[in-house]
Amino acid sequence: MSTNHPTHLSVPSTSRHQIHDGLYSFPLSCPDLCSTQKKGEENRETTESMALKLWASSTANALKISCGGAKTPPFLPFSISRCFSSVLDGLKYSSSHEWVKHEGSVATVGITDHAQGHLGEVVFVELPEAGSSISKGGSFGAVESVKATSDVNSPVSGEVVEVNTKLTEVPGLINSSPYDDGWMIKVRPGSPSELDSLMGPKEYTKFCEDEDAHH
């Protein structure tokens, strides 16, 4: 009777440490391991970069949608100017919305903030010549705006001694500075007592409120 001897697997001595729990593993050399780790890091960085780009893109789109969907309320210069028109102390006012500042022998005349607010953007101003005579309640010029053209009446009689020539080049001064840079004419009053019949600041404010309430 023959005896069967077990067959022994011959494993090179340099590779015996690679056998573990019946499994055979192939070793990775150091260059291969480093390369694998580097690729993993690159893949992770690429993934993070793509995620960041996607987030930025979605955020930008959201902002566009938000901005595009929001409607800016229309600007209403007419209503705002009416609510915030100013009336200055130390001036006299006429019922046709001119103001007068009497200093010494000269009275400076212009249109009120309330008036320019109703007119809108002024694009042209017609003025008299210096030396011409004007009468109380009579027209001495005109103001043309994008809405309408309106005559300007004198609140006092007298002689025109100076006109504001700046208004010829920059008529918008009547809008931006009606009581200062937007003055129109300077008059030497023939009858200074005519100024007594004009309204003071409180009276004119009430007059404007009542007038607006009926429009």
Q: Are residues 59 and 156 in the same domain?
A: no
Same domain membership, residue 201 and residue 159 = yes
Residues 83 and 186 in one domain: yes
Q: Are residues 52 and 144 in the same domain?
A: no
What confidence tens digit (pLDDT) does each residue in 121-165 have? 999 999 999 999 999 999 999 999 999 999 999 999 999 999 999
What are 125's strand-pairing partners?
143
Overall domain count for the chain: 2
User: Is residue 161 situated within a structural domain?
Assistant: yes
pTM for the predicted model, two decimal places: 0.61
Query: Last residue of some domain: 40, 63, 86?
Result: 63
Q: Kindly report, residue by residue over 81-136, the tens digit of the pLDDT.
A: 344 579 999 999 999 999 999 999 999 999 999 999 999 999 999 999 999 999 99
* Structural domain boundaries enclosing 31: 25-63
Structure tokens at 51: 């995620």
**Quick check: is 7 in a domain?**
no
User: Tens of pLDDT along 180-199?
Assistant: 999 999 999 999 999 999 99
